[in-house]
Amino acid sequence: MNAQQMDMARKCLNGAYDKTMDFPGIVMALIEAGFESYTVDFRNRTTTYFLPDGESLALENRPSQEPIAAAFDPAGIATQIRWAQQNPADYTYAAFCRHVKAAGCAGYMVSFPGRRAVYYGRTAEIHAEHFPD
């Protein structure tokens, strides 16, 4: 992984938290930098970016003390995804993370070739969300 790719991964993670980049912009920037996917792990507090050859870069997420609920609530997660897609003035990535954790999300994987994000719970339940057209 080259320095430009590592810088872009950091820029995208910070841009999500700082609300300087939205999800479509992050996806486009990561694809243009050559990434294939990324995974957010709320238990390890990391976001890992993957190149097609398997090379990866793990970055620390910003601190968050909220627990991950034991029960997985796919409807609650879907509600938070819709909120993020609308990107209203009160939306923040940190709040999104808090809310999906409260809905039992332990993490999620975003696949660019698959055009979807898969959210998973502590018991491996999943909610798949396809990218809007």
Domain CATH for 109: 3.30.1810.10
Q: Give the global pTM.
A: 0.92
DSSP conformational letter for 112: T
Token couple for 38: 């990324």
Q: What is the pLDDT of residues 74-99, one digit of tens each?
A: 999 999 999 988 888 899 999 999 99
Which range of residues forms the domain containing residue 122?
3-130
Residue 129: its H or E element: strand 126-130
Total domain count, the chain: 1
What is the rounded average pLDDT for all residues in the chain? 94
Whats the size of the chain, residue-wise?
Answer: 133
Q: What is the pLDDT of residues 8-17, one digit of tens each?
A: 999 999 999 9
Tell me the residue type at 69: A
Q: What is the mean pLDDT of residues 22-36?
A: 93
Token couple for 120: 């998973």
Give yes or no for residue 132 having a pLDDT over 80. no
Burial of 46 (0-12, 13-18, 19+ CB in 10 A): middle
pLDDT at 70: 96
* Confidence tier at 131 by pLDDT (50, 70, 90): confident
